[in-house]
Structures are given as C-alpha cells and as structure tokens.
Amino acid sequence: MTNPTHPALRAPLRGGETRPAAGRRGFSLIEMIVVVAIIIILLALLVPTLSHAMERARLLKCSANLRTIQAATMQFAEDHDDMMPPSDVRPWAYHASIRDQMQEDPVHRWWHRWSSILMKTGHIDPATVPMGGPIQGWPFGSSGEEADQLPVRGQSPFICPSGTWEYEGPGHEGGSNHWNPIANKADKQFYAIGDEPHGDQQLNPQVVYVHYPVHYGCNGSNASSAYAMERTPSGGQPRLVYTGSFQNPSALIIYYDGRFNHNRTSIGRVAARHMNRTMANFSFADGHVRAFDVRDLPSLGVADQSLYPNWRR
C-alpha cells in the first residue's frame, strides 16, 4: 500500500515545502446549486403524486364506509318487509289513533335519524361508533357544553376521513356551490342509552342520550314521497318507503357525502370532499358506490328515472 506522505509523492512548494500531489477537495458552489436544484425538481414531481395517492386512499376509505352503511340498510329492509329506514322519526307526531300501534314497532319508538335506527336495530354495531356525552334529558336543539363536546377520534362507518372534525348545528343549509364548507362538517346525531318509554319523547327527561358525528346524508326529505327515505310521520301519518317502489335501483342514490338529508331544497347539503373538492361519494340502492363531480348532479326535481345518478325513486 502506498503512503501518500512519502517524500516521493509530495509536490515541491516554494520555500522548499512539499504537498500531496493529489488530495480531497469540497464541492464548489456551482455543484451545490446543481444538486439542490435536482432535489427541488424531484420533490416537485413527487409531492403531487403522493398527495394524489393519499387523497385517493381517503376516497376509497369513504367508499368502504358507504358500502358498510348501504349493506346495513338493505339488511334492515330485508328484516322489515322491504321497508327502508326512515330519514328520521318523530314518535309524538303520530296521530292518536295509530300512535300506540306504531310505537310498538322498535323502528318508530325513538326520535332518531337513520344512523341511530340502524344501530338500535342491530344492523350497525354501536361499539364501532365513538360517542360523546352523556346528555341528560331531551338533546335535540341543545347547545350545552356536553352536547357540543366531540367524542374521542376513532374508527366509525359514519366518519369520512376527508370530513371536518367539528360539529355544525341543525338548520344550516349552506349554498348550492360545489364546495360547501358547512356540509363538510359533522352532523351531530344522538343515540339513546337503553330503551326509551312510549309516549311523547320530548317529555321524558330521564332518557340518557349520547351524541356522535355523522359525515353522510340520506336521499330523503321531510314531506315528500318522491325520494328513497322519508321522515315519519309526515302530517301526523306514517310515510313509509318500500324497496319495491324503486324503479331503477342501480341509479337511485341512497346515501351521499354530506349532511342529514337534502330536504327537497338543493344539493347544498352534499359535500364535495374529495379530489380537490370536486367529488363526492354516493351509494345506490343496488349496493354499489361511486364518486361523482357534484357539479354534474341532476336537480332534485328531475323525475327521469333513466338518469344516472338519480334522486327520484
């Protein structure tokens, strides 16, 4: 092995000094600039690709949530003589002549929305849903500290990974533009611990409720028989929807990214959460799930069942 300090390998310097003929040197400024520029270019190419991949993963997770909810809904219908779960139930609003009869049915004994009905009837396991609370007494419209405190984050079929982790109070419609930040927030829904007594639910302060976030809405309204899920009762009478009335199940929307129900007004409750805030996931009566650009959705009033997707049954 050669020795770089051997006198024969040293180059003469002025004054009789010697130095190594070949030695290490650092990067020049130009070389450093070139390396940094290459790194920046690579990052510029990779970051959008990674961001797109992450957004695609969130879209697929949301799709899986809707498939779970849709499967639970169709199992509910199978178990209830093809009846769809109501958008929500107001048990005290039943006419006196049918109130006791309807409230014998577990589906109609609580004021709950579709998500709580699926849990109350065992079609979605409540243990999979993170909940906050409890709230003593009648929770609907409550603005107390307990009612507004979010539950601990966790996995839930009702939580979209692209949704905003905060509540929006009831009654906020938002606009009809394709990106609605209000619709992207979680809808505060409630679940009764134990069994609720019959009668006017508003007068039962002993019932303990907990609350939980929901990032999905249903294709229903408060006073119309045109859509897939309806509030019961409407005008004091039960308004029930059966799957046999679906003219084109493969095109009929059941659930969507968004809030509560569209209430026949506009698609302002649909949340374009995905793919640069242009796409929303939708589940259909035949069980499949697909994402659409919400700017291409048909109007809620269009009754052409041949359209895909379609709001009207």
Instruction: Give a three-class secondary structure readout of 78-91.
Output: HHCCCECCCCEECH
**Average pLDDT rounded to a whole number, residues 53-65:** 91
Q: In angstroms, what CA-CA distances link 159 with 192, 215, 224? A: 19, 5, 28
- Residue ranges making up the domain that contains 167: 54-296
Is 309 inside any structural domain?
Answer: no
Overall domain count for the chain:
1
Report the percentage of the chain scoring pLDDT > 70: 66
pLDDT winner (highest mean) among 19-33, 97-111, 185-199, 237-251:
237-251
Is 187 inside any structural domain?
Answer: yes
Is 212 inside any structural domain?
Answer: yes
166 residue type, one letter: E
CA dist., res. 233 & res. 31, Å (int): 76
Is 15 inside any structural domain?
Answer: no
Is 125 inside any structural domain?
Answer: yes
The pLDDT assigned to 164 comes to 80
Query: How high is the mean pLDDT of the chain?
Result: 77
**Six-digit token pair at 216?**
């999905």
Is 237 inside any structural domain?
Answer: yes
Q: How confident is the model at residue 145 (pLDDT cuts 50, 70, 90)?
A: very low
- pLDDT surpasses 90 at 172: no
Cβ atoms within 10 Å, residue 24? 5
CA dist., res. 284 & res. 18, Å (int): 85
Is 123 inside any structural domain?
Answer: yes
Least confident among 94-108, 216-230, 262-276:
94-108
Is 36 inside any structural domain?
Answer: no
Q: What angle do CA 247, 296, 216 make, to 5 degrees?
A: 70
